[in-house]
Structure 1
Amino acid sequence: MTALSITPIRRPSWLTLPLTIGAVIILFWLVVTVLAPVLSPYDPLEMAGRRLQAPSWAHWLGTDALGRDVLSRTLYGAFHSLPIAVIVVALSVAIGATLGAISGFIGGIIGAAIMRLVDVTLSFPPMLLAMAVAASLGPGLENAAVAMVIVWWPVYARLMRAQVLEVREREHVEAAVASGASDSRVLTKHILPLCWTPVLISATMDLGQVILLAASLSFIGLGATPPTPEWGSMISDGAAQFYSWWVALGPGLAILTIVLGFNFIGDGLHDYFDPKSK
């Protein structure tokens, strides 16, 4: 009688191709964010050349309708977009994960009330809800950030609640409850440590989506206010100059690469923590 052999699931290396590509892209933009004043050839708010000057050796990405250097404004745009994305996602995770954990662990009227609030919020299209909140608060990056937190926290609440409901049924949690551990200890020591992986992966991918949503709000005038060098408002300026394609090229490529970078990192983390899905 032959023994049954079980092949263990091998976890892939951290250095997967998507994770490496994403890390290189995001590291580049982090360096740009920190060193934007050093890397920018011109002041992003001052006229550096002729109006709508095509790309040249003096202005690699040309100038906009006010003669400002597009490359300098694109580099400075990272200084506004990346920190806002990190703050929005961090606050959304903190609020959503806390309420989701309470809803999943305590349940009852409190849990039901939290989830009904989540359902109501998620019933609105994200862009439409963000536009409504930002319009009521007024233009500005801070108000746009508040609007995006309101849009995003229910996603993490639902995700965390699902994880808590699944983990609380495991044997080690039942053993902790049977041994007399308090509810707070069961939640913080035995349940939550096993719930963060999906939240981490989702948050990594959402960083790029938040940058895209912030740019969309600025594009329609509900985000950054002039003359702030923000990618969405720069693309809006480029859209008004149909034949001056270079005005929107720099910020457009910036948004494209940074969203791809965060998606690559999220895919790499997903492959590492969940190798069975490959």
Structure 2
Amino acid sequence: MDLAPIDRLSCAADREAIAARIASAEPRPFIVTDGTARWPARTKWTLEFFADRYGDSPGIAPLEFGVRPPSGKATLLKAFIRHLDDAYTNLPGLWVGPKPEPADPPQSGWSFSWEPFKHDPALLDDVAPFPEAVPNLTACLPRDLFHALEAIHRHASFSIYISPRDTITPLHRDRHNLFACLVQFQGRKQVVLFAPGDGTSDGALAGFDPESPDDRLFPTMRGRAALGGRLEPQDMLIIPPNWLHYTRSENHSLTLSHNFFNAANLGDYLRSLLAEIGR
């Protein structure tokens, strides 16, 4: 599959280009190379920092991405980090979730699943201010309203993913017509992105591997234009609403995920939010 490179832009030098990209009727993903320049997390956040500061935090190491409720091993963050080089079977913990524990589990699971910002809201101060060149109304909300919106759409606006090498997040699109932002703090990730528009559901793409595509099983993806590249430490990837994206960790990885809205997608986001309330 031929992948076009993801544009790399700087807040300092490309402010107008970033604004035009966000406001475009058909925005394309781009990487901000200096988006974390003023963040305390830039020098503070490492795997060792989280193991030392939040090591006793409980969570789940699920085998699959995006399954709710998750099935996997309930363990502590420090145990997960210390066993990143070990097989999943060696990770200490208790199996939880609706699915039975597999007799022959894979070598590794998915990322550690926990809620750090819920238990320590001060962590948000480590990833502020959001770069002014990237419009973000979510980051401007009062904390009470911010958490109320999270409760309505039952999804955290900020998440931290700690993943062993070769962890794959399969092709998917984020909900609620929101922009997505992935910030890499440790390790590197391969990323592949596809524009929205052909009506293919996420479920129809289950099992599709953009790094080794099978045109027979997934004919709708044959010849489809895609972007691809590597996220380096401190890279900030901005993904417009409804773009399909896939990642693979090249190394043990520490990534911040953030969903947000601005003037460009506010109407679509509110319509999605009202639909969620009506369910």
Normalising by structure 2, report the TM-score: 0.25
Higher Rg of the two aligned structures: 1
More helix per residue: 1 or 2? 1
More strand per residue: 1 or 2? 2
Normalising by structure 1, report the TM-score: 0.25
